[in-house]
Chain A
Amino acid sequence: MKTSLNDHQYILYSKQMLLTDVSEQGQLALMNAEVIVVGVGGLGQLVAQYLAASGVGQIHLIDDDKVTLSNLPRQLLFSANDIDVNKAHVAAGKLQQRNRDSKILAHSVRLAPENYLQLFNAISPQVIFDCSDNFATRQLINRIAVEQHLPLFSAAISADQGQWFAYLPESVLTNLSATNIKPHGCYHCVFPADSLLSQNCSQMGVLGPAVGIMASMQALAGMNHIIGRQVEFGVLHRFDAKRLSWSKATMPIDKHCCVCR
């Protein structure tokens, strides 16, 4: 566990630490954090860049996909030389080279009900970022967050519609003293597993900056939580990338939810 910064780190992270409620204590919290990013596509590659550049201590990148030509306009960490190479490996290699204070670990697997326990038995993340690109994986990550007692920062976008939320499992909430965070619903409370999606990511277009906005919100909310700032958990934020407008709604608990109840 890091308890102090060296001279180089003081200068490197000075703009973050100039925020009075971040300071050296918040920077050390980032540097001692271990996080997991599921999906290293449009969302994940940017979330990972922000986390690594801010000094987050350990970042696990999970993705079994390979870089393709059509990824390049929005997945700016990748270049034409990376095509056909695993995204988690490419991202980990590049981020490790740029960010010496972080340990970036690539897991070139598709997170699935059959393999997630093996992974989570080997690592100890304190936060999970859902940057995946399909509904089934989102349901699984939500279940993992509940089971493993992990704060979840989740974002999604298809075409011009973005959604993001932060979720804190009740088991974590009850362990937090002096908190004013109220119990709230999980992803399954909002979208049960049998929900039908009108928009399938692989069939829909999307503009790079729209993905970047969602990833930035997700990364910022996660960093705020690690630093110890108050985060609005249990609120679903929706972004209309055409009108550039936001709306939000609280996520009450579904008393019949088979995941978090």
Chain B
Amino acid sequence: MITIHINGELQQLADNQTLAELLVCKQVAPQSVAVVVNQAIIPRSEWSQYQCQADDQIEFFSAVAGG
């Protein structure tokens, strides 16, 4: 198990879990968010390759489009 931060909260996670798997686990629809890991956005096309690392600071957020 590793410990990561998701939107500021500590979470335990199985080793070798990818961002795509994390989103499924959290029941977050992939098309509804952008994902930031350690202050860098990870493009959606790379979520299935990115393996979460211990102490990763992960944030999910939606686009806003109003003006």
Contacts and interface: CB of A to CB of B under 8 A. Distances in A.
A194 B67 contact: no
B31 to A, nearest CB: 5
B39 A156 contact: no
B39 A248 contact: yes
A156 B65 contact: yes
A249 B36 contact: yes
Contact of A201 (B41, B44, B59, B66): B66
B64 A255 contact: no
Interface in B8-67: 29, 31-32, 34, 36, 39-46, 59, 61-67
Interface residues of A, number: 50
Contacts, number: 107
B43 A238 contact: no
Is chain B's binding surface mostly helix, strand, loop or mixed?
mixed
Given A195-B31, A198-B32, A254-B44, A249 B64 contact: no
A43 interface: yes
A162 interface: yes
A19 B32 CA distance: 43
A189 interface: yes
B65 A254 contact: no
Interface string A235-261: 010100000000111111111110000
26 contacts: A42-B66, A43-B67, A158-B66, A162-B64, A189-B41, A190-B63, A194-B31, A195-B32, A195-B63, A196-B29, A196-B62, A197-B32, A197-B62, A201-B64, A201-B65, A201-B66, A201-B67, A238-B61, A249-B39, A249-B40, A250-B39, A250-B41, A251-B41, A252-B40, A254-B44, A256-B45
Interface of B: 29, 31-32, 34, 36, 39-46, 59, 61-67
Interface of A: 39, 41-44, 130-135, 138, 155-159, 161-163, 185, 189-192, 194-202, 204, 206, 211, 236, 238, 247-257
